[in-house]
Amino acid sequence: MSIEIIIYSLIIGAVGGGCIAAGAARMFHAPEIQAMGAFRTLGELNACAGDPVAHFGFGLGFFFNAAASAVAAGAMSGDVFHRIIPNWSAGILLLRNKKVDETLYNPGKMFLTGAGVGAVVVTVLNTAASMIPEKLAMIAGNVLTPAANWLLNPVMPGIFWLAAMDAGKTTGLWGTILGGVSALVSGNAVPGIVLGILIGKSAEENGYKSSIVQILIAIVVIMFVAIAYFRGFFNQFGF
């Protein structure tokens, strides 16, 4: 453990944590402004419903998991930015003010808190992860990993799919087709259903002759062909 690792970790954690937490707060203002995070992060933040204990507990479970992964392979897991930093930042802010409008939805406060949380979390994971009891990491991993994986697939595809079909024939049809294609080529239906909803709704409002809809369809086709190619999908046909 060198001083170099500590200094670099503090910088990485502060810069990354601040930006990611602010990006997560912006999710509550999307699509008017561009946000970054993930639909599942948005869902999980909403699931904790402004309860600081839930935010801390959820983040803590994944922190144990990340620590185990960091010790074993040097990989801190995607949960540091997806879950731990957004949830702990939200939890800290909610301790003092229960109104989510003034805390979790506020990119300024989330940026400042996220920078602090990020600096601490990244530094601890890079230097002292081995001090986290193995047993806690094991329990957290065995309980949270399956639950999070189920949420990602198949629970979220199911919910999004039903939402698309409930939103009308056009949207349902596009959601179903693109969801299926997406499940085939990328392993998860959600991105396809989301794009299907977008195309379906736009087609309903503007018609297929409009340039918006045509551009959308063109982008989506190019995107799926690119994913399919890069992930070796076409090889599966065995030609």
Partner 1 sequence: MKNTFTEKLNKFLLKDETFILLIMGAAAAIFAGTFMYIKFGTGAFNDVSIVAMLKEGIDGGSYSAAAGFAAGFLIARILEGPLVGILDIGGSLMTGVGIGIPALLLSMNITLPFNNFLFALIAGALIGLVLGLIIIAIRKFVPKGVAVGGTSIMMGAGNSAGRYLGPLIIIAATQYNVYAGLGALIGSAIFYKLEKEITGGAIIGAMILGAIFL
Q: How many CA atoms within 13 Å lie on the side-chain side of 143?
A: 12
> CB of residue 195 vs partner 1: minimum separation in angstroms?
7
Minimum CB distance to partner 1, residue 204 (Å):
8
Min CB(176)–partner 1 separation in Å? 14
Nearer to partner 1, 56 or 117 (CB): 56
Between 63 and 237, whose beta carbon lies closer to partner 1?
63
Tell me whether the omega of the peptide bond preceding residue 154 falls within 30 degrees of 0, making it cis: yes
Distance CA(195)–CA(216), nearest Å, equals: 9
Cα angle: 81, vertex 85, 88; to 5 degrees: 155
Considering the complex, what minimum distance in angstroms separates the CB of residue 148 from partner 1?
Answer: 8
Q: Distance between CA 208 and CA 188 in Å, rounded? A: 27
What is the Cα–Cα distance from 17 to 5, expressed in whole angstroms?
17
Q: Is 236 exposed, middle or buried (0-12, 13-18, 19+ CB in 10 A)?
A: exposed
Q: 167 or 173: whose CB is closer to partner 1?
A: 167
The pair of structure tokens assigned to 110 is 């989330």
Shortest distance in whole angstroms from residue 71 CB to partner 1? 9
